[in-house]
Amino acid sequence: MSRYKLYFFNGRGRAEVSRLIFAIAGQKYEDIRYEGSEWPSYKAEMPLRQMPVLEFEGTKLPQSLSIARFLAKQFNLAGRDNFEQAKVDAVADTISDLLGKFIPPRFEKDKTKKQELMKKFFDEKVPKHLQNLDVLGKLYGNDGPFFVDNHLTWADLLFYDILETLLGIDENCLNNYPWLKQNRAEVEKQPRIAEYLKSRPKTPH
Amino acid sequence: MGSCDLKLYYFNLQARGELIRLILAAADRTYEDIRFDINQWSEYKPKMILGQCPVLELTDGTQIPQSMAIARYVARETGLAGINNLEAAKIDAVVDTQRDINETFYGKVFFEQDEIRKAEELEKFLNETLVKHVENLGKLKKAYSQNESYFVGNKLSWADLFVFQSIKALLKAIPQVKGKLGDQFKQLIDAIHSNEKLKAYLDSRPKTDF
């Protein structure tokens, strides 16, 4: 009976950052994945009828970033004091802004409109946010490869995860940002992360 | 810490700055509340770390962007972020839930230019989105609260201030919201208005368009 249960669809989506946190922390958890067709029968069990949800010692928590921040703090991946945590949050929020801009093109049903929105996203929004993240990494990173104070935090894992999706669409989008590229390479090198990436379920999203 | 070791840079508006100001007010924490008009922004923008605001600046000059990161930081510094990590997470969950609604409202209704689409989205927001949201906040309060007024545990947290501020801003933008809220937030709003430090701040803060 695990202390931690993570509920999500059978995909990376908004749950993957938390799975990366569990992986690097070496923490066992129940990785509950629902297929789209079975989700309606479980919906009423989730506080806000959405996922991901983390169940921790019987309490259910919704909201992917709150879950990630909680887990990161549990496993010392959130920053070593309040001020470091604020810098980590600032980076995470900037990444989240980028994700927010991705949602409309990602879920647009009209093919022509989708193409237009994606182009605009990659031409304009992506460079702006990557530039901002580059600024923060260099300012807070203390000359190391990680976003804050030269050690890996959940902000690095969140960046790794979101860019995996974006690079899947435009493999060149990080070409102008060597620091950011190196940051992802450092995350990938971590033994527990490398192991997890090899062994996790392969899903389209 | 000295009296002006914290500086908050933002427009002379509530918008994305007000939550931070409310947290600092509830904690009776002094800070420099730097406010500028839109026509002064070109002066300040280059000094802000990402060319955006709000920004929190500490005595040593370090700047933190991102309104929620700032809010969470000052809440933790002032004891308004829960008594342990799990309470902090519950508070975050309430905040994020309210944020989703704010983003839906401002994104789909408030800033919509097309009049017909705006009216459609407003209708949907009032009759579906907002109703569901009020229910959701009720569920979270039931699961996390140990008292009548506040969302988490036994005392005021920044989640209460964020929901309070968001509801107030929503009521100002679309007064017809009032009928949809029922009594859900009455105890919270009363508790905040009877908090001495918050009452003093609310009575004296500059009146702005939003």
Q: Report ipTM (2 d.p.).
A: 0.79
Minimum distance, in Å, between the CA of residue A127 and any CA atom of chain B? 13
- Compute the radius of gyration of chain A from its Cα atoms: 17
Chain A contact for B93 (CB, 8 A cutoff): yes
Asked if B85 and A135 come within 8 Å (Cβ–Cβ), the reply is no
Strand partners, B36: B11
What pLDDT score was predicted for residue A149? 95
Determine the Cα–Cα distance for residues B54 and B64; give it in Å rounded to an integer. Answer: 9
Chain A CB contacts of B76 below 8 Å? 82, 85
The amino acid present at A1, given as its one-letter code, is M
Asked if B49 and A100 come within 8 Å (Cβ–Cβ), the reply is no
What strand order describes the sheet that includes B6-11? B32-36, B6-11, B55-58, B63-65
- Where are the domain boundaries for CATH 1.20.1050.10 in chain B? 85-194
Minimum distance, in Å, between the CA of residue B207 and any CA atom of chain A? 29
Asked if A86 and B49 come within 8 Å (Cβ–Cβ), the reply is no
Determine the Cα–Cα distance for residues A170 and A130; give it in Å rounded to an integer. Answer: 14
Mutate to test the interface with A, among B23, B48, B67, B72 (most CBs of A within 10 A): B72
Mean pLDDT of chain A: 96
Provide the residue count of chain A: 205
Confidence of residue B210 (pLDDT cuts 50, 70, 90): confident
Out of B69, B86, B143, closest to residue A93 by CB: B69
Q: How many CA atoms lie within 13 A of A142 on its CB side?
A: 8
Answer yes or no: is pLDDT of B27 > 70: yes
Confidence of residue A1 (pLDDT cuts 50, 70, 90): low
User: Under a CB-based contact definition with an 8 Å cutoff, are residues B13 and B208 in contact?
Assistant: yes
- What ranges make up the beta strands (E) of chain A? 4-9, 30-34, 53-56, 59-62
Q: What are the tens digits of pLDDT across the range A91-136?
A: 999 999 999 999 999 999 999 999 999 999 999 999 999 999 999 9
* Portion 5-64 of A in contact with B at CB < 8 A: 47-48, 56, 59-63
Mutate to test the interface with B, among A3, A4, A70 (most CBs of B within 10 A): A70
User: Under a CB-based contact definition with an 8 Å cutoff, are residues B114 and B105 in contact?
Assistant: no
- Compute the radius of gyration of chain B from its Cα atoms: 17
> Thinking of the domain B85-194, which architecture would CATH place it in?
Up-down Bundle (1.20)
Q: What are the tens digits of pLDDT across the range B46-60?
A: 999 999 999 999 999
3-class SS of residue A119: helix
Asked if A47 and B136 come within 8 Å (Cβ–Cβ), the reply is yes
Weakest mean pLDDT among A109-123, B1-15, B19-33, B87-101:
B1-15
Structure tokens at B118: 């705006």
Chain B CB contacts of A83 below 8 Å? 58, 62, 73
What pLDDT score was predicted for residue B1? 43
Beta carbons within 10 angstroms of residue A132's beta carbon: 21
Answer yes or no: is pLDDT of B4 > 90: no
Asked if B139 and A47 come within 8 Å (Cβ–Cβ), the reply is yes
Determine the Cα–Cα distance for residues B75 and A41; give it in Å rounded to an integer. Answer: 38
Chain B contact for A66 (CB, 8 A cutoff): yes
Out of B64, B90, B95, closest to residue A86 by CB: B64
Nearest to A130 by CA among A65, A187, A175, A79: A175
> Thinking of the domain B7-80, which architecture would CATH place it in?
3-Layer(aba) Sandwich (3.40)
> Thinking of the domain A82-190, which architecture would CATH place it in?
Up-down Bundle (1.20)
- What ranges make up the beta strands (E) of A3-140? 4-9, 30-34, 53-56, 59-62
User: Under a CB-based contact definition with an 8 Å cutoff, are residues B151 and B140 in contact?
Assistant: yes
Domain ranges for chain A, please list them: 4-76+193-199, 82-190
Chain B contact for A4 (CB, 8 A cutoff): no
Answer yes or no: is pLDDT of B209 > 90: no
Structure tokens at B130: 């907002």
3-class SS of residue A81: coil
Structure tokens at B70: 């700032």
- Where are the domain boundaries for CATH 3.40.30.10 in chain B? 7-80
Asked if A47 and B72 come within 8 Å (Cβ–Cβ), the reply is no
Distant-in-sequence, close-in-space partners of A150: CB < 8 Å, separation ≥ 6: A141, A142, A143, A144
Distant-in-sequence, close-in-space partners of A115: CB < 8 Å, separation ≥ 6: none
Q: What are the tens digits of pLDDT across the range B104-160?
A: 999 999 999 899 999 999 999 999 999 999 999 999 999 999 998 999 999 999 999
Out of B66, B76, B88, closest to residue A90 by CB: B66
Alpha carbon A112 to its chain's center: 28
Beta carbons within 10 angstroms of residue A104's beta carbon: 15
Place of tokens 């005021």: B156
Answer yes or no: is pLDDT of A73 > 50: yes
Answer yes or no: is pLDDT of B205 > 90: yes
The domain defined by A4-76+193-199 carries CATH number 3.40.50.450:
no
Determine the Cα–Cα distance for residues A126 and B24; give it in Å rounded to an integer. Answer: 34
Asked if B92 and A65 come within 8 Å (Cβ–Cβ), the reply is yes
Structure tokens at A143: 């000359």
Confidence of residue A61 (pLDDT cuts 50, 70, 90): very high
